Structure 1
Amino acid sequence: MKHIVLLTLPLFLAACGPSYGMKVPGSLVKKLPFEVRIELLEAENELALAVDKVDENNNEIDRARDNIRRARSRQEAAEDEVDRATDEVSREVAKLAIEESEARVEYLRAKQRLSVGLRDVSELARNCAFAKFELAKLTAARKAKVEGSEELDPKEFEEQVAECDAEVKEELADLSEDQKEEKTAREAWEAKKTALAKKTFDARASPYVENL
Structure 2
Amino acid sequence: MKRFVLLTLPLLAACGPRYGMRAPDEMVKKLPYETRIELLEAENALALAIDRVDEAGSEILRARDNIRRARSRAQAAEAELDRAEDAVSREVAQLTIDEAEARVEYLRARQRLNVDLQEVEQLALRCAFARFEQARVEAARKAKVEGSEELDPKEFEAQVAECDAEVKEERAELTQGTSEEKAAREAWEGKKAALAKKTFDARTSPYVENL
- 1:100 maps to 99
Q: Which amino acid aligns with 2:129?
A: F
| Deviating more after overlay: 54-63 vs 3-12 | 3-12
1:87 aligns with 2:86: yes
SS at match of 1:111: helix
Shift of 1:184: 0.3
Contact 1:81 1:94 in 2 (8 A): yes
Shift of 1:205: 1.4
Shift of 1:120: 0.2
- 2:206 maps to 207
Identity %: 71
- 1:161 maps to 160
- 1:78 maps to 77
- 1 CA distance for matches of 2:93 and 2:32? 70
Normalised by the length of structure 2, the TM-score is: 0.96
Structure 1 gaps of 5+ residues are none
- 1:43 maps to 42
Deviations 1:137-160 (A, max 9, x none): 111111111111110001100000
Deviations 1:143-193 (A, max 9, x none): 111111110001100000000000001111111111100000011111111
Normalised by the length of structure 1, the TM-score is: 0.95
Shift of 1:9: 3.0
- 1 CA distance for matches of 2:93 and 2:173? 39
- 2:62 maps to 63
Aligned residues: 211
- 1 CA distance for matches of 2:4 and 2:167? 26
Structure 2 gaps of 5+ residues are none
Shift of 1:195: 1.1
Q: Which amino acid aligns with 1:156?
A: E
Contact 1:18 1:127 in 2 (8 A): no
- 2 CA distance for matches of 1:201 and 1:40? 60
Deviations 1:79-107 (A, max 9, x none): 11111111111111111101100100000
SS at match of 1:16: coil
1:188 aligns with 2:203: no
Distance 1:45-1:210 versus aligned 2 partners, 3 A rule:
same
